[in-house]
Amino acid sequence: MNQSESVRRKEAVGRLEAVVGAIRGCERFLVQTHNNPDPDSIACAMAIRHLVRLHTGKDAVIAFGGVLGRSENRAMVQHLQVPMVPGALIDYGAYDFTAVCDTQPGTNFTSFPDGFVPTVVIDHHPMRPETKRAKVAIVEPRYGATSSIVAEMLLAGGVAIPPDLATALYYAIRAETQDLARDSGEIDVEVYRALEQIADRRAVSLIEAGRVPREYFAEVRAAIDGARSYGDVLVADLGKVRFPDIVAEMADFLLRLEGARWSCVLGEYRSTLYVSLRTGDPDANAGDLIRQVISGMGSGGGHPSMAGGQVPLTGFLPEEKAAARRTFVEEMLRRVGAEGATAEPLIPESEA
Ligand SMILES: [Mn+2]
């Protein structure tokens, strides 16, 4: 082990001790994912729940906001038997320990009541001022996944990782970083390799092959039919969607187009406009870009190559909703230098 490795290991053990210290002496435990939870958020919540059980013998409730939409995520929860409770059913005042995973307070991206201060925050997005009020704040934007942060803590502290938890963390890092290809670093690779030894690879393949309903294909078609290229920027508005995660999924899908530098997908779900940005440009920063574009409209953030945001549309007339969508797209195109480019359908009429 070289010097920087041993420093890192000490830091990871320190984080573990801080979380365990916060757990000790508490009675009622709640772990919160972000809204419309993804594998990274779910796996991190499972890890905290595991630590709670290990140190107190008690069970922690895992709460989530929004919907568990994407088929892979539903398959993950089903195969790994993760008990998840809708945030609307939670009395947040009834817990003396709360942890939030893969997001931070003040993001509008959890089912926490306004101004709620969790005991522990674990996240890999840029630090937010509200997070400083938490007793334990572990915010490490250098990590490709929040699951890498917790997995490193468990591994460094010699905590045995049961196969279901290892599978969840492994799958989470895999999904979040597109198999270590996106926004990931040395530590992600290291913990991924370690988890690979314990994870149930068959369960991973079952999760990845999660079945989708017929409507899913209609949404894929809407993305393809609606996609317009503005030079090397691809934009698709899905209109109303069955669940919000499809917006991010289609942004990944469309970025596969040869020569595309950016993809941007919009979709409306329950009076909220969801937007996702992806880029393959190593000099660009999708997270910074979305924050600039969405400021004054809603909230958003993310990582160098992937980012997302929400714009509340409650009470908007149809034309006001259309104007919000247009403003977002125009401002985004302007900031990536594609203003004035003519819109071309992804598939020309003659081939459709
Ligand atoms: Mn994440």
Q: How far is CA 195 from the centre of its chain?
A: 20
What is the Å distance from ligand 1's center to 176 Cα?
Answer: 6
Q: Provide the pLDDT for residue 101.
A: 98
Q: pLDDT higher for 348 or 206? A: 206
For CA atoms 110, 116, 117, 120, give the dihedral sign: negative
**Are 143 and 187 spatial neighbours (Cβ–Cβ below 8 Å)?**
yes
CA of 284 to the centre of ligand 1 (A): 19
pLDDT band at 90 (very low <50, low <70, confident <90, very high): very high
Average pLDDT over residues 288-309: 95
Show the tokens assigned to 182. 């996106």
Q: How far is the CA of 44 from the centre of ligand 1 (A)?
A: 9
Domain map of the chain by residue range?
3-208, 216-351
Between the CA of residue 339 and those of 201, 327, 336, what are the distances in Å? Answer: 46, 12, 8
Nearest Cα neighbor of 336 from 263, 252, 269 is 263
CA of 65 to the centre of ligand 1 (A): 16
Same fold, 3-208 and 216-351: no
- Would you state the pLDDT for residue 107? 87
Rg, the chain, Cα only:
20
Residue 351 reports pLDDT greater than 90: no
CA of 42 to the centre of ligand 1 (A): 10
- Amino acid at site 323: A
Tokens 């840029």 found at: 126
**Confidence (pLDDT) at 242:** 93
Task: Note the pLDDT of residue 324.
Answer: 97
Confidence bin at 27 (pLDDT 50/70/90): very high
The CATH code of domain 3-208 reads 3.90.1640.10
Q: Span 328-348, mean pLDDT?
A: 95
Q: What is the pLDDT of residue 352?
A: 65
**Cα 161 to middle of ligand 1, angstroms:** 20
Q: Ligand 1 centroid to 173 CA: how many Å? A: 8
| pLDDT tens per residue, range 36-83 | 999 999 999 999 999 999 999 999 999 999 999 999 999 999 999 999
Give the ranges where 181-278 is alpha helix by DSSP (H): 186-198, 201-208, 214-226, 245-254
Predicted pLDDT at 274: 97
**CA 146–ligand 1 middle distance (angstroms):** 5
Q: What is the Cα–Cα distance from 100 to 113, expressed in whole angstroms?
A: 13
Residue 280, classified by CB atoms within 10 Å of its CB into exposed (0-12), middle (13-18) or buried (19+), is: middle
The pairing of beta strand 136-139 with beta strand 120-123? parallel
Instruction: pLDDT band for 299, please (50, 70, 90 cuts).
Output: very high
d(CA 344, CA 254): 14
Residues 6+ apart with CB under 8 A from 266: 235, 236, 237, 238, 247, 273, 274, 275, 325, 328, 329
| Cα 238-242-248 angle, rounded to 5 deg | 55
Q: What's the CA-to-centroid distance between 148 and ligand 1, angstroms?
A: 9
Indicate the helix (H) or strand (E) that contains 9: helix 3-23
Cα of 342 from ligand 1 centre, angstroms: 34
Ligand 1 midpoint to CA 141 (Å): 10
Cα of 253 to ligand 1 centre, how many Å? 19
Instruction: Share the mean pLDDT of the chain.
Output: 96
Query: Ligand 1 centre from 100 Cα, in Å?
Result: 12
**Alpha carbon of 315 to ligand 1 centroid (Å):** 31
Alpha helices (H) along 233-317: 245-254, 286-294
Q: For 107-130, how does the pLDDT look when each residue is reduced to its tens digit (9 = 90+)?
A: 889 999 999 999 999 999 999 999
Residue linked to tokens 């969607």: 241
- Look at residue 222 in the predicted model and tell me its pLDDT: 94
Q: How confident is the model at residue 273 (pLDDT cuts 50, 70, 90)?
A: very high
For range 306-323, the mean pLDDT: 96
Measured distance CA(151)–CA(5) in Å, rounded: 15
Q: How far is the CA of 339 from the centre of ligand 1 (A)?
A: 31
User: What pLDDT, on a 0 to 100 scale, did the predictor assign at position 3?
Assistant: 82
For residue 133, the CA-to-ligand 1 centroid distance in Å is 21
Ligand 1 centre distance from Cα of residue 331 (Å): 26
Decide if pLDDT at 349 tops 80: no
**Structure confidence at residue 210 (pLDDT):** 85
For ligand 1, the distance from its centroid to the CA atom of residue 124, given in whole angstroms, is 6
Compute the average pLDDT of residues 258-283: 97
Largest CA distance in the chain: 68
Question: What spacing in Å lies between the alpha carbon of 145 and ligand 1's midpoint?
Answer: 5
For the residues 148-153, what does the mean pLDDT come to? 98
For the domain covering 216-351, report its CATH number. 3.10.310.40
Predicted pLDDT at 208: 95
User: Which amino acid is located at 132 in the chain?
Assistant: K
Instruction: Tell how far CA 285 is from the center of its chain.
Output: 16
Pull the structure tokens for residue 337. 């230098």
